[in-house]
Structure 1
Amino acid sequence: MFRLVGRVAVALLIVAEFSLADTVIKDNRDGKMYKTLASGNLNWFTDNLSYRKLASFTDKGGAPYYKQSTWKAACPVGTHVPDIQEWTLFAKDRFTGPRKLSNVKSFAGKTRGFYGNEDAKKIQGKDAAYFAVSDPNGVRAMMLDVKRGNAKMVELPAGAITTVRCVSERNFYAEKNVDEKKMILTDPRDGKNYKVELRDNRLWMVTNLKFSLTSARQCLLEDTTFCKKFGRFYNYNDAKKACPAGWHLPDDGEWRDFQKDREKLNWETIGRGGCKDWDGYCNSELTGHYWSSTSIMKNTGRSWEFRRQAKSIDRTDQNVQKGLYVRCVTELN
């Protein structure tokens, strides 16, 4: 009835890892909202397209099916039907792991089979889900075998009607809560804004973290004015948990990369604020001290000290109870 044009043997991720991204796409034509799953450079719909105006057929369960001539126009503006390469990369990225059967079922949902045309009966109705593949050279679909947990790229008969999953290009800046034009990070937890910069495909905060200020004891001289000016002191364990979702405390290697080109460092901001040294404080006008996530010796964390006037840097191991600043970082992908 139809022939295979290639086989992509796949196994899906463990269910706990197969989670939805925060991105939600709205179809302005009818107001429907679609949750998405991030994979590579794309966000994938986790539910079938449900734009009924262009649907060729709706099954008894209410799921719309589309013929190839409508695929290009069916997806919302800014999204498209994935092509062969995009489906293949998605399979390699997401469809690997020991629990392939349960995860194939999870992604396929209630989708089953395809139709030969508007009047035909469903083909291969109970054991596989078929999703449209954009291909100018034929009518193809990605088939997910919900009985065995396999996937194949297949060629369908001319006029075949399938379900559609749309994809869109990811906005990596937006996913990190960064305004790309202004290069400002907005922490969704408290609404505070931080200037950021791009270094070697990493986004770095260029001012110190101020999140969760609960006491003047986290401020230089226990004065909240200095928390607003310099940021908040964190002990080592708190520092590892302080960054917003999608961001993290840089490790020792990331700090090494950050400080390679010292001419590009803003010494006026990174070399000030000092540290909280037990009951005392480090020189706030000439030094700034920062945690890394790396720990070499018990009860210590690797720290980086930036000296503003000398434009020098010292890397040391500090007791985990000391109060140092935090600069968060994230990979731009």
Structure 2
Amino acid sequence: MNTGNESQMAEFMLLGFPSSRELQLLLFVVLLGFYLLTVSANLLIIGTVTLNLNLRKIPMYIILCHFSFLEIWYITSTVPKMLVDFTVDNKLISYKGCITQIYFFFALGFTELFFLAMMGYDRYMAICHPLRYNSIMTRKLCNQLAMWSWICGFSSSFLLTIPSSRLLFCGPRVINHFFCDFVALLSISCNKTFATDALWYAFAWIIILYSFLLTTLSYVHIIKTISHLPSLLSRRKAFSTCVSHLTVVLTFYGTITFIYIRPTTQYTIQMDKFVSVFYAIVIPLLNPIVYTLRNREVHDALRKIITY
């Protein structure tokens, strides 16, 4: 009982990226730049779509607004705390703060998985059922799908937060990570069992692979439809509408699969910590760039806003 009570009152030290003071300052500047660019880029997408009458009627851009809003909160769940830690000597986080960060980080991450599946469904409707696309993918349906993505993501995270809150800590409470990740927390727990490890492993497989399966099913039908188009030009044009989404899907699923879909006994904290930087910090910035870089409609809308 004592150990449990002590765990509830514990403070953890986030090891982050141990280095010289100069390098810490450099990392602070770089990551602050990433954070500000990510928030600004995603706000720019939301603002552009909201202010443009034509874009805000198109289902893909309604969904993209929701996705950009999600990305702002996703990067905010980890980076502000990390930036503060670069400026202080004791990188402490309370027990409740750690559990709260785990909940929101995974809730937003799971929500992103469901959003990617929803965006795959949007591409499926646009390519496989173009004549019915606008009548089916209405603003109301897009908002409902987005709402269910949020609900499923935040509900799923409870299944991870509950076992996190039951972990006990007997030794040094030093988390070798830059945020409270469940796997890093599990590695310092003194009541970690095979059952806990197996539960986490199964849960990661179910959530990640289920959402990936939904996305894959959409693309099976998309590829089948594209392969039956009469000309090479029409096939290229149809496929080009999926490139942005596919790029985001492959990068996000690739990194989280490397991190989470393997037994925790095979985890290498140093390598995983650097890979985590990619999916927790870099990808939220890449996503708005990927979705707007080749998008002429967004370019035209931005130009109109700037020259207005």
Relative to the length of structure 1, the TM-score reads: 0.19
Q: Between the two structures, name the one with larger relative contact order (CA 8 Å, sep ≥ 6).
A: 2
Bigger Cα Rg: 1
> Hey, which of these two has a bigger chunk of strand by percent?
1
> Hey, which of these two has a bigger chunk of helix by percent?
2
Relative to the length of structure 2, the TM-score reads: 0.20
